[in-house]
Amino acid sequence: MTNPLLSPWTAPFNLPPFAAIRDEDFAPAFSVALAEARKNIAAIADLTEPPTFANTIAALELAETSLDRISRLFYNLAGADSTETREALMRELAPKMSAFSSEITNNKTLFRRINDLWSRRDTLGLTSEELRVLTLYRRMFVRSGAELQGAAAERLTEIKMRLAVLGTTFAQNLLADEREWFMALTEDDLSGLPTFVVTAARAAGVERGQNSPVVTLNRSLIVPFLQFSPNRSLRKISYEAWVRRGANGNAHDNRAIVAEILMLREERAKLLGYASFADFKLEPEMAKTPEAVRDLLMRVWKPAKLKALADAAVLEAMLVADGEAGPLEAWDWRYYSEKRRKAEHNLDEVALKPYLSLDAMLGAQFDCANRLFNLEFREIKGSFYHADVRGWEVTRAGKHIAVFFGDYFARTSKRSGAWCSAIRSQKKLGGDVRPIVLNVCNFSKGEPTLLSYDDARTLFHEFGHALHQMLSDVTFGLISGTSVARDFVELPSQLYEHWLEVPEVLEKHARHWQTGEAMPADILKRLLATLTYDQSFATVEFISSALVDLAFHEGAAPTDPMAKQSEVLEALEMPQAIRMRHATPHFTHVFSSDGYSSGYYSYMWSEVMDADAFAAFEEASGPFDPAVAALLEKHILSAGGSEEAEVLYTRFRGKMPDVEALLKGRGLLDAV
């Protein structure tokens, strides 16, 4: 039987033949694709002709075409719809793919060709994009150890292979903990819960094969349960299970894995000549140094903590007034904060959710993209990788731009969180390749699916990433779409969240799922007035996580990461009733890969820019100003990584922004 992964993909838009692919097809396809890539790369290295950009750099860009196609599909499926076979193959592939990567960067003949081009770069007549790609290739090789020799080079290869295995294991352990835990609820336990939470709990019970409703560790279920359940003991049980993921002392415990990861990262940085892993990791980012990161975080931490302590006092008084013994605990904050919001602003999630159906919010995100960038979205039907997945063709002026997939519902086969990825990225080298972009969320499924405002913000956030992928307009895949500095990649996503706050967007799209009536003006007014509500809590839980991440990586690796976490939080005088947003044993951003290691701060770094970038629209004719939208697309969304991030942002805005824009956006200026 022909392996569909190795045959041409002939479906409309060259989509993968999802229905024809079996899990058993992936392993042999990877073997063939790896062999082909090795052959192609060896041919480049062994050329007798002098190196040119075309026969070396452009050839490297095309050398792994089949491998890239197969691996992008596989890892997207493994994250969004895992199976035992896929998880086993991920564990098998982790060291193999790392070893393959090291083979390339350790190829001294290949590196000499790249270095030769680099030394002659000013005489080659390169375009600015070609020069950028050459620069990034050389940087990638050097940072991967191409200049190391002998035992040092061999040790670095061993470290990277081991880190790949550990990151995969970390993520799979977390998924196992999330899959296995649930708390059964009696009918009495449902008392006080809104209908949407009860419906979600019953649906989760059916999925788990239970005869009762359950609470799971899916954020879209456990957070509203913590917001609305009057049963303090159940809130405590479920909250502690949520924050204990990866630290249950079972076969899925991640604490020893974290310690080994940190030790190996430090050794990796030292081999490459850096004082610490944070110094190594931050060098190519906008922040550049750990000191710059700490300065930003601490400038925001101080006013945020002051406001959080004041808020905690109010919530604790409400707790005591309910006849409960203080102090206010972490499993109490959301419950009393929700009560306070209703008391002070006459607004709660129950009033909002009927107007925030998933379909309505999808319509809103598409409409904003149309008004800003003239994009059209036509839903397409087909057999995709899961029955929950929806697809759209994206066009502009009748021209095909991309295919967009949305996978929005929680299930036990999907890792937690929300993300955007590309099954295929945009590029022009070797033909005009249009992207296939995927947004993944974990909303509680319902008939219809009703979102919290935070859920709707997540939807817009991930779609901002998707626009960065879809509007990419570069020649080389290396710099396509979201292939930018880590502390710049969140700019488009966080910027797009602002359009959910635009009154005319909510007036048009926030309509009652049953009656079709627009959100009443008084509810809309109260919603917009509370957009900075509880931001002290959100800011403190975020910054504490970012500072722990930084502390793990800016000095000697801690032998006991949990003790180091406690030390950092104690030094910060962390408010008692707020925990880190991501405790170490389930901090997937930092430990499932190197992606956000030393870089969790990047959301806040980008937020400084997104607040300033949206101000550009407000300073012009409004949120849909066509001239500003055109500049945003030209200099940021279409540009990918074609220039350093500071250059791209300055071209868009004229200057880099100050942290005051962030403090204003979070409602923290009055606490400075």
Residues 60 and 147 in one domain: yes
Closest CA to 432 of 12, 6, 14, 10: 14
Closest CA to 591 of 174, 97, 72, 77: 174
Inside any domain, residue 131: yes
- Structural domain ending residue among the three candidates 175, 192, 225: 175
pLDDT surpasses 90 at 119 = yes
Inside any domain, residue 546: no
**C-alpha atoms less than 13 angstroms from C-alpha of 210 in its C-beta half-sphere:** 19
What six digits make up the tokens of 290?
């750990």
Inside any domain, residue 329: no
Exposed (0-12), middle (13-18) or buried (19+): which is 290, by Cβ within 10 Å?
buried
pLDDT surpasses 90 at 545 = yes
Say if residues 385 and 362 touch (Cβ distance below 8 Å).
no
Cis amide linkage into residue 558, ω under 30° from 0: no
Distance CA 588, CA 248 (A): 16
Residues 219 and 87 in one domain: no
Amino acid at 512: H
Residues 207 and 68 in one domain: no
Inside any domain, residue 548: no
Say if residues 638 and 651 touch (Cβ distance below 8 Å).
no
Provide the mean pLDDT of the chain: 96
Residues 160 and 44 in one domain: yes
Q: Which helix (DSSP H) or strand (DSSP E) does residue 393 occupy?
A: strand 390-396
R_g of the chain computed on alpha carbons: 25
Where does 106-254 have alpha helices with state H? 108-119, 128-143, 150-180, 195-207, 219-228, 232-243
Instruction: Specify the residue for token string 């998933």.
Output: 358
Angle at 500 between CA 411 and CA 516, to 5 degrees: 80
Residues 102 and 198 in one domain: no
Between the alpha carbon of residue 610 and those of residues 112, 589, 639, the distances in Å are: 41, 21, 17
- Structural domain ending residue among the three candidates 197, 216, 243: 243
Q: Mapping DSSP to helix (H, G, I), strand (E, B) and coil, where does residue 554 land? A: coil
Residues 196 and 113 in one domain: no
Residues 118 and 202 in one domain: no
Strand partners, 392: 379, 404
Amino acid at 331: W
Inside any domain, residue 593: no
Q: Mean pLDDT, to the nearest integer, of 361-366? A: 98
- Contacts of range 121-126, beta carbons closer than 8 Å, 24 or more positions apart: 124/52, 124/53, 126/53
pLDDT given for residue 672 in this prediction: 56
Distance CA 72, CA 85 (A): 17
Inside any domain, residue 197: yes
pLDDT given for residue 664 in this prediction: 82
Angle at 324 between CA 320 and CA 326, to 5 degrees: 65
Rounded to the nearest 10°, the torsion over CA 331, 335, 340, 341 is 120
Residues 522 and 397 in one domain: yes
What HEC string does 47-103 produce? CCCCCCHHHHHHHHHHHCHHHHHHHHHHHHHHHHCCCHHHHHHHHHHHHHHHHHHHH
Residues with a catalytic annotation lie at 462
In terms of residue numbers, what domain contains 368? 348-529+601-672
- Name every residue whose Cβ is closer than 8 Å to that of residue 594 and which is 6 or more positions away in sequence: 163, 167, 265, 281
What six digits make up the tokens of 119?
């030394």
Residues 370 and 508 in one domain: yes
Q: What is the pLDDT of residues 63-103, one digit of tens each?
A: 999 999 999 999 999 999 999 999 999 999 999 999 999 99
What six digits make up the tokens of 17?
């033949």
Inside any domain, residue 608: yes
Distance CA 424, CA 355 (A): 34
- Structural domain ending residue among the three candidates 243, 268, 293: 243
Task: Grade residue 671 by pLDDT with cuts at 50, 70 and 90.
Answer: low
Q: What total of structural domains would you count in the chain? A: 3
Inside any domain, residue 80: yes
Residues 225 and 84 in one domain: no
pLDDT given for residue 74 in this prediction: 97
**C-alpha atoms less than 13 angstroms from C-alpha of 390 in its C-beta half-sphere:** 11
Q: What is the pLDDT of residues 615-657, one digit of tens each?
A: 999 999 999 999 999 999 999 999 999 999 999 999 999 999 9
Q: What is the pLDDT of residues 7-62, one digit of tens each?
A: 999 999 999 999 999 999 999 999 999 999 999 999 999 999 999 999 999 999 99
Residues 167 and 188 in one domain: no
Say if residues 460 and 500 touch (Cβ distance below 8 Å).
yes
Say if residues 173 and 253 touch (Cβ distance below 8 Å).
yes
**CATH at 638:** 1.10.1370.40
Q: Mean pLDDT, to the nearest integer, of 296-309? A: 95
Residues 113 and 197 in one domain: no
